[in-house]
Amino acid sequence: MGIARRSSDDELLVRLRTGDEAAFRQIVTQNHRAMTRLARSFVQSQSIADEVVQETWLAVIRGLDRFEGRSSLKTWIFRILVNRAKTRGIREQRTTPFSALTASEDDPSPAVDPERFLTGGAAFAGYWSIPPSRFFELPEDRVLADETLALIERAIVELPDRQQRVIRMRDLEGWDPAEVCDVLEISAENQRVLLHRARAKVRSAVEAHFSELVQT
């Protein structure tokens, strides 16, 4: 944890422990939406996700005096959230089989279609036979249009839950890799694999969307 972040956490923690309502509003404003999105990936409905987040905030308030500062305040809050969301997920029978908890990936399928590579006796076996679309060369306003952003969101929603959690935390909310591993209780290697697969699938969806507009 950086010195600046620790100092900010210490100041905020003092305010929270003295019942400063403005401080509580601050952490809710900063984290509530991200907490709701993460909780939703563990449970069956939005209403249950909302309940999990409310339960988490109550647990945060009650546990402030026990917080020892071994992690950032944000990481501590999200750990509480994930533990409660997992419990509700089990209760709602939406839980990952135990065997999957130790796996390094959510599915055995390749991140990129093998047919896009040269194989066998080809002189350049392993190289692209169908190279990636160069959609990133399109004008920025086209790539970042609302239609494209909606497409990316749909692609993320369709990912396996574990991949979805990692890509949201890393790419949409700017978490550090170590923080993601800490909150989700996964190894660094597992986090890299999940993120790679998630990014590959989202990129594939974007490529397909722009396939008629750029030269492949």
| Domain 109-209 CATH assignment equals 1.10.540.10 | no
Q: Supply the pTM of this predicted model.
A: 0.71
Q: Is the Cα torsion angle 183, 184, 190, 194 positive or negative in sign?
A: negative
First to last CA, the chain: 43
- Average pLDDT value for residue range 7-17: 87
For residues 121 and 202, the model is more confident at 202
**pLDDT tens column, 59-92:** 999 999 999 888 899 999 999 999 999 999 888 7
Both tokens assigned to 191 = 């986090």
Provide the pLDDT for residue 148.
Answer: 76
Listed residue (204, 190, 201) closest to 105, CA to CA: 190
Q: Average pLDDT, stretch 158-183?
A: 94
pLDDT number for residue 68:
87
For residues 191 and 107, the model is more confident at 191
Q: Please give the pLDDT value at position 184.
A: 95
Specify the DSSP element, H or E, that contains 140. Answer: helix 140-143
Contact 15, 23 (CB under 8 A): yes
Where do the CATH 1.10.1740.10 domains begin and end in the chain?
Answer: 2-91
Is the CB of residue 136 less than 8 Å from the CB of residue 143?
A: yes
Q: pLDDT for 84-134, tens place per residue? A: 999 998 887 744 444 444 444 455 555 545 544 445 555 544 443 444 454
**How sure is the predictor about 150, in pLDDT bands with cuts at 50, 70 and 90?**
confident
CA distance 23 to 10: 12
At 152 the pLDDT is 86
Q: Yes or no: say if 116 and 129 are a contact pair by the CB < 8 Å rule.
A: yes
Q: Please state which CATH number belongs to domain 2-91.
A: 1.10.1740.10
pLDDT at 70: 85
CATH 1.10.10.10 residue ranges for the chain: 109-209
Whether residue 147 is predicted with pLDDT greater than 80 in this model: the reply is no
